[in-house]
Structure 1
Amino acid sequence: RSGTRASLRHVYSEHRGGINWLSLSPDGDHLLTCSEDGTARLWETKGLQCCALLQGHDSYVTHGHLENDVAYTCSADHTVRKWDMATGGCMHVFRGHTSIVNRVLVASGCLFSGSYDRTARCWNPDSGRQLQEFRGHRNGVLALAHFSAQDLVPDYALSGGQGGDFLVTGSTDCTVKLWLVLNGHCCHTLRGHQGAILCMLLDVPGRALFTGSRDHTVRCWDLATGEQTRVLQDHQGSIICLEFVNRHLYSGSTDRTVKCWMVASGECVRTYKSHRHTVSTLQFYEGILFTGSGDSCARAFDTTSGILRRVFKGHKFIINCLQVHNQMLYTVSHDCTMRVWDVRGLYKCDQGEDSESRWKGSFGIGLSRVRRNRVGCLGLSHRPTTATSTRNDQEGREDTLELD
């Protein structure tokens, strides 16, 4: 059924450009919105007031990451910035990239960034100093993930059996690379996709990596060996977003569907339809699969029955990102707004899957869920034009993707 006005709690329209990304702090107290207007905003989830306006970037903000006390944003101005959440002041500007920075990731005390300049970089988040550059891709880096060798099984064989932290990068050159963070050495190049890597997700306990591509497939890889273990083929369009829950993998596509796969067998066990455009973002939460689409609607599906439980209508353009917290749904769109929906009526106590069992990739590739930031908007209709986006679209044209 359609969401009624009673489920819509708030509409926030402070941004003056489309909102590309939404991040939730680990403690759940704050949200971060990243916008085409060149700013980011911090919001308190209790009371939902804007508590800080983060200004300083010279172009649109592509992505962000929240810790409990600091925020990170990256931009088409080629920089990453670190912000004090208490004051809204900029603490560091990380310079070195030579093109649009698509994604940031914080892990093991380091800050990582990926860019259209074909590199990923590692930074000291406290000093702002660049620690490592990962160079080897032939095209832009869209997705990032991180894992530690000690989190894998004891017979882990990367880098001659040495331990350490590893960065995973997905690129528009159709490859994925695994890098040893300590020295920047590329341990594996994963080949097989015939299109750009748009999203990525890790299942470290299962020592598995899942990648979604413009070639319409999801591929599964063994993290220890770099070998491809399975190809999931059933979609008729590019794979935009991934979610992994209790041995089930969910994939959202430009073919207007989400598919649920049994990872062990590679079988597609359910297809969630009813979207009228690309599935741009998804998140599993307490037995419900929430999706956002290019048709400007969010949807809630019961993962046990597959039934569409609710359609959330109100946005005017593509929903770029969503978060669910304390039974409230937050959606952000290229219509410049964030909307907050009450979803308490969707839940039953006996639903079997545990929301804490999710593993996310391209971390936010939370991996978001690896979301594709601007790539997911290219080729989609209904994208409003802002002065910021028009001015900078020329810069990324070499890597522009038309998503099928």
Structure 2
Amino acid sequence: MGSSGSALRVCADHRGGINWLSLSPDGQRLLTGSEDGTARLWSTADGQCCALLQGHESYVTFCQLEDEAAFTCSADCTIRKWDVRTGQCLQVYRGHTSIVNRILVANGQLFSSSYDRTARAWTVDKGQASKEFRGHRNCVLTLAYSAPKDLPGDPCLEAAMGGGLLVTGSTDDTAKVWQVASGCCHQTLRGHTGAVLCLVLSVSSHTAFTGSTDATVRAWDILSGEQLRVFREHQGSVICLELTDGLLYSGSADRTVKCWLADTGERVRTFPAHGHSVSALKYHAGTCSCGFVPITSVFPALSAM
């Protein structure tokens, strides 16, 4: 939406709800993953569909768009890598035993989370799992990564932090911070009273922001595990977060998007975005794009909780 809250483009070719969207680094293309089992690549200039990515055997839960490749994951327990120019599937990553909920391509690695209670690290080119992170007592939903260069240069922590830190959120009401090099749990972030559905990192301050079914957003120091502040105003589950220029945007099952000052927790603005839960949002050059679908479609295990 623009500054007035009006829609700029409508992308409407999917035959099911849109579960996630990803903007290319240059802002010229948008990737959407859908309940219809496909992903689509769009031109942001005119809203036209440029490529249809099909091959998953169930709905697409998440997608990430890079310069030369697109990545999708699905309820069919797999992850796929696609050529954005041809729409051809380049790699299938197999190993998870349940729904793959999120993926993250960072620092030359591919990370994934699943309803099988694990997160995994993969070699992008070979499609093999290089590390498995076990410790959550329930579904692992969301992921964020802090690269080694963004962590403090403490000699005592250098070996442990050499591969960076992976942060995961789960329906066990916690988030965990993992040492990627060793696979060991560095911190468990406790305080939410509901499932942790989403998280984002401020790499400069080593702060994680988590959103939960308890209708709050919480800020944490990922090195010490300390809870820094709580953002309270949503009236429903916080499903998605976006952090940019010191502002934190949160999308919720209460059908709104809220904008907060990340450092203080003060609410700046509320956007009455949709007639349904806001499941995805992306900020780019002054424009905030939102997608929606009922929360139990994005996180099906929550319907049984």
Residue 242 of structure 1: aligned partner: 241
Residue 400 of structure 1 aligns with which residue? 302
State the Cα distance separating 1:52 from its structure 2 match: 3.0
Q: Which runs of 5+ in 1 are unaligned?
A: 293-318, 321-333, 335-375, 379-388
Does the C-alpha gap of structure 1 residues 86 and 159 become closer, same or farther in structure 2, counting only changes over 3 Å? same
**By how many angstroms is 1:218 displaced?**
1.2
**Which AA in structure 2 matches 1:139?**
N
Aligned residues: 302
Match of 1:297 in 2: none
Which residue is equivalent to 1:182? 181
Residue type of the partner of 1:154? G
Q: Is the 8 A contact 2:77 2:96 kept in 1?
A: yes
Contact 2:23–2:31 at 8 Å: present in 1 too? yes
**Shift of residue 64, structure 1, vs aligned partner:** 0.9
Find the aligned partners of 2:10 and 2:236 in 1 and give their Cα distance: 34
* Separation in 2, partners of 1:190, 1:157: 22
Residues 261-284 of structure 1: per-residue CA shift (max 9 Å, x gap): 333333345444586554444444
Deviations 1:342-369, CA, capped at 9 Å, x for gaps:
xxxxxxxxxxxxxxxxxxxxxxxxxxxx
Equivalent position of 1:193 in the other structure: 192
Q: Which amino acid aligns with 1:377?
A: I
1:109-124 equivalent positions in 2, closer than 5 A: 109-124=108-123
Matches within 5 A, 1:143-162: 143-155=142-154, 162=161
Quick one: distance in 2 between partners of 1:272 and 1:35?
A: 24
What is the Cα deviation at residue 237 of structure 1? 2.1
Cα shift at 1:183: 2.1
TM (normalized to structure 1)? Answer: 0.67
Deviation at 1:168?
A: 0.8
CA distance in 1, matches of 2:214, 2:295: 17
Any residues of structure 2 matched to 1:35-184 within 5 Å, and which? 35-45=34-44, 49-155=48-154, 162-184=161-183
Cα gap change, 1:27 to 1:252, in 2 (>3 Å): closer
Secondary structure at 1:150 match in 2: helix
Query: Aligned runs of 1:323-362 on 2, under 5 Å?
Result: none
**1:377 matches 2:279:** no
SS at the partner of 2:110?
strand
C-alpha distance in structure 1 between counterparts of 2:269 and 2:42, whole Å: 36
Letter in 2 for 1:73: T
The one-letter code of the counterpart of 2:205 is G
Q: Deviations over 1:49-88 (max 9, x none)?
A: 4343322211111111111111111111100011122332
Unmatched 5+ residue regions in structure 2? none
The CA deviation at 1:402 is 7.6
How much has 1:94 moved relative to structure 2? 0.6
Return the offset for 1:39. 1.9
* Cα distance, 1:236 vs structure 2: 2.7
Secondary structure of 1:184's match? Answer: coil
Aligned to 1:228: 227
Distance 2:109 2:103 in 1: 11
What residue in structure 2 maps to residue 367 of structure 1? none
- Seen in structure 2, the aligned counterparts of structure 1 residues 55 and 283 have a Cα distance that, compared at 3 Å, is closer
Q: Which amino acid aligns with 1:173?
A: D
Segment drifting more, 228-237 vs 271-280: 271-280
How big is the shift at 1:106? 0.1
Instruction: Check conservation: 2:253, 2:295, Cα contact below 8 A.
Output: no
Bigger drift between 67-76 and 45-54 goes to: 45-54
Match of 1:312 in 2: none
How far apart are 1:11 and its partner, in Å?
5.0
**Which position in structure 2 is the counterpart of 1:202?**
201
SS of aligned partner of 2:149: helix
Paired with 1:221 and 1:210, the residues of 2 have a C-alpha distance of 6
Larger CA Rg, structure 1 vs 2: 1
Question: What corresponds to 2:260 in structure 1?
Answer: 261
Q: Which amino acid aligns with 2:173?
A: C
Amino acid at match of 2:106: A
| Cα distance between partner residues in 2 of 1:218 and 1:157 | 31
Aligned equivalents of 1:276 and 1:17: distance in 2?
16
Letter in 2 for 1:235: H
2:62·2:73 contact (CA, 8 Å) conserved in 1? yes
Quick one: distance in 2 between partners of 1:16 and 1:60?
11
Tell me the distance in 2 between the aligned counterparts of 1:172 and 1:257: 22
Residue 400 of structure 1 aligns to a residue whose secondary structure is: helix
Pair 38,263 (structure 1): closer, same or farther in 2 beyond 3 Å:
closer
Give the residue type in structure 1 aligned to 2:29.
H
**Residues 234 and 22 (structure 1 numbering): CA distance in 2 closer, same or farther, change over 3 Å?**
closer
Deviation at 1:159, TM superposition (A): 7.3
Q: State the alpha-carbon separation in 2 of the partners of residues 157 and 282 from structure 1.
A: 38
Contact 1:158-1:225 at 8 Å conserved across structures: no
Percent identity (aligned) = 57
Map Cα deviations across residues 314-373 of structure 1 (whole Å, 9 max, x no partner).
xxxxx32xxxxxxxxxxxxx6xxxxxxxxxxxxxxxxxxxxxxxxxxxxxxxxxxxxxxx
Deviation of 1:198 after TM superposition, in Å, equals 1.1
